[in-house]
Amino acid sequence: MNRKTLCDSQTKGILGAMRCCPTSTLHLLRCLRLRSCTRRGKSRLPLWIRELWAYMSLLVQSLYFNSLTDSDVVFDSVFEPVFWTVDYVTRWFGTVFVCLVVILVSSIVGIAYMVLLPLILNTYSPVWIAWHVCYGHWNIVMIAFHYYKATKTSPGYPPTEKNDSPFVAVCKKCIMPKPARTHHCGICNRCILKMDHHCPWLNNCVGHFNHRYFFCFCLFMTLGCVYCSISGRNLFLDAYKALETNYQTSAPPYTFKDKMIHKSIIYMWVLTSTAGVALGALTLWHAVLISRGETSIERHINSKETKRMANRGKVYRNPYNYGSLNNWKVFFGVEKRSHWLTRVLLPSGHTPLCDGLKWDVFPVKKDLIPV
């Protein structure tokens, strides 16, 4: 007996029982019959197919869930599988990117010690030797310190327990109150205080408590790349000419060690030059954002708000812009003049001036410290 014959026989039995059963009993029998037929129909499909079908059905139903549905809700619903895939891949590749950064930086440092430093000691004057040794080691320490702190420091999360902290909205994904300047990160799957972006090269979000470390890492890495590119330019030209001449002649005038030194110099110069240009542009962009008192996300929000207010004949002002100089003081945590040295030019693990939950929304007209 096939499934259709079985369901038809059950239907006839139920119809026969309908003549003598009350309404509640009829409803119960009808539900049992539908559940039994549904279970038999689905029992042959694998579990993952049923879960995928249920998920796709939910996405389709979300498109006409209520009258408040707009283009943003439809776009998020349709492309949610794509967003989920990108978030998952980025989360998984974060460790790979961190390892890649460590390997590349370590290779440049190794070439600097094994190839460049002996050349500097043999050819430069004592004054230039002191300059290169002091600046090079200071730059390496600043890069290593800020990269470690940027990857290991928590960006800051809003409290999950009930408290008296003010909030401006409720996160649609966390279903938790969001303080001002807080945004949800799909990769970390939680809200981040003063979120700027999720950096795969750090495998961490850039937020309130590690934004300074991220910017300083980009800044000192750019300075290090520019330093290697400028100081190694002549060495790069000599190494390139030597290898080109070696390939054009029949007898090799250089040994294997000489060839490896030349190739190492070319590798270092090309890598530091390209990385210096890319990181320099990124550092300059974040410097502009810091001067304006906004993050990458707030830049997009403020731009839309400016256009919306302009259509109404009004002028929008960023409530967290305290002036260029004060914005830098708040960002670096500078409270007195000596902090420009101890907290900016030297490694410092101090925390920001505020907790990231409450922000002054009126521009500060007076400098925080005299300049």
**Residues 352-365: pLDDT tens digits?**
988 888 888 765 54
325-330-333 Cα angle (round to 5):
120
Least confident piece of the model among 32-46, 139-153, 257-271, 342-356: 32-46
Write the pLDDT tens digit of every residue in 131-154. Answer: 999 999 999 999 999 999 999 999
Determine whether 199 is an active site residue: yes
- Cβ distance 146 to 283 under 8 Å? no
Stretch 77-83: mean pLDDT: 72
Q: How far apart are CA 84 and CA 302, in angstroms?
A: 27
The pLDDT value given to residue 14: 46
5, β-bridge pairs: none
158-162-164 Cα angle (round to 5):
80
- Cβ distance 269 to 229 under 8 Å? yes
The pLDDT value given to residue 42: 47
Candidate list 199, 216, 218, 225, residue with the active-site label: 199
95-100-104 Cα angle (round to 5):
155
Q: How far apart are CA 132 and CA 129, in angstroms?
A: 5
Write the pLDDT tens digit of every residue in 282-316. Answer: 999 999 999 999 999 999 999 999 999 999 999 99
Higher-scoring residue by pLDDT: 176, 7: 176
- Cβ distance 87 to 187 under 8 Å? yes
Stretch 158-178: mean pLDDT: 83
User: Which of 78, 2, 84 lies closest to 40, judged by CA?
Assistant: 2
Q: Which residues contact 152 (CB under 8 A, 6 or more apart)?
A: 204
Whose tokens are 């240009």? That residue is 277
The pLDDT value given to residue 215: 97
**What percent of the chain lies above the pLDDT cut of 90?**
43
Q: Write out the two tokens for 60.
A: 């389709």
Q: Write out the two tokens for 256.
A: 């294997």
Q: Which residues contact 170 (CB under 8 A, 6 or more apart)?
A: 176, 177, 178
Stretch 325-336: mean pLDDT: 92
The pLDDT value given to residue 152: 95
Q: Write out the two tokens for 243.
A: 């290898």
- Between the alpha carbon of residue 125 and those of residues 117, 130, 234, 310, the distances in Å are 13, 9, 17, 61
The DSSP code sequence of 139-187 is HHHHHHHHHHHHHHS------SS--S---SEE-TTT-SEE-TT-EEETT
Helix (H, G, I), strand (E, B) or coil at 295: coil
Question: For 136, phi and psi rounded to 5 degrees?
Answer: -60, -45
Name the percent of the chain in helix, strand, coil, to the closest 5: 65, 5, 30
Burial 199-225 (b: 16+ CB within 10 A, else e): bbbbbbbbbbbbbbbbbbbbbbbbbbb
- Cβ distance 40 to 10 under 8 Å? no
Write the pLDDT tens digit of every residue in 189-246. Answer: 889 999 999 999 999 999 999 999 999 999 999 999 999 999 888 888 888 888 776 6
Write the pLDDT tens digit of every residue in 104-139. Answer: 999 999 999 988 888 888 888 899 899 999 999 999
- The per-residue pLDDT of the chain, averaged, comes to 82
Whose tokens are 């009930």? That residue is 162
